[in-house]
Structure 1
Amino acid sequence: MAEIELSILSRQCLSRRIPDQGILRTEVSAWASQRNSINSKMEWRFTTEDAWIKLAKLYPTIKLE
């Protein structure tokens, strides 16, 4: 979820050259305040069941005899 928020920040706020660190802090702070004031929510669509299916090859299978 943090990566998604950083992606949104990058697209909405940081898509241009920002000349110095002070302006960057001001811009990010204003963006965060605005995003928090509208109670932005995220719809999480990748469920645990989806993860088991998509990532099955990464998990070892144990055969019980």
Structure 2
Amino acid sequence: MIRVVLDNLNTHKAASLCEAFPPEQARAIAKKLEFHYTPKHGSWLNIAEIELAVLSNMCLSQRIADEDSLRREVDANVRERNAKAVPVKWKFSTQDARRKLARMYPCVST
């Protein structure tokens, strides 16, 4: 099983495979995938996106000759990030969230 983590963009569905592959092949691929979606309107919470950006900036910004070298670079980066255990520092405070996302909070009449 391949777990795929992605946002809620309307094209990010198993049905999209049918546009790229013949039906039987699309079905075979879809059976191997398990989709996990990030929260709607929550991309600013997406820690995976932050980690991928760090990976891209630290080791994928250069040309990598082959797959083995790529694996070594990525593995080294992951080990280093895990060893440092750097916490995510949110730039979006609760107060900012309440102000920016006010329309998403339910209105309660008293």
Tell me whether the two structures share a fold, i.e. TM-score over 0.5. yes
Considering only aligned residues, what root-mean-square deviation do their CA atoms show, in Å? 2.3
Distance between the aligned counterparts of 1:40 and 1:31, measured in 2? 13
- For the pair 1:50 / 2:93, whether they are aligned, the reply is no
- For the pair 1:37 / 2:94, whether they are aligned, the reply is no
Paired residue type of 1:29: D
Deviation at 1:45, TM superposition (A): 2.5
Match of 2:49 in 1: 3
Number of residue pairs aligned between Structure 1 and Structure 2: 64
- Which deviations, in whole Å up to 9, do the C-alpha atoms of 1:13-57 show, x marking residues without a partner? 111001111111110000110111122111122234423422456
- For the pair 1:25 / 2:71, whether they are aligned, the reply is yes
Paired residue type of 1:8: V
Q: Which runs of 5+ in 2 are unaligned?
A: 1-46
Q: Hey, which of these two has a bigger chunk of strand by percent?
A: 2
Distance between the aligned counterparts of 1:39 and 1:4, measured in 2? 14
Q: What percentage of aligned pairs have identical amino acids?
A: 46
For residue 27 of structure 1, give the secondary structure of its aligned residue in structure 2. helix
Distance between the aligned counterparts of 1:47 and 1:2, measured in 2? 19
For residue 87 of structure 2, give the secondary structure of its aligned residue in structure 1. coil
Paired residue type of 2:48: A
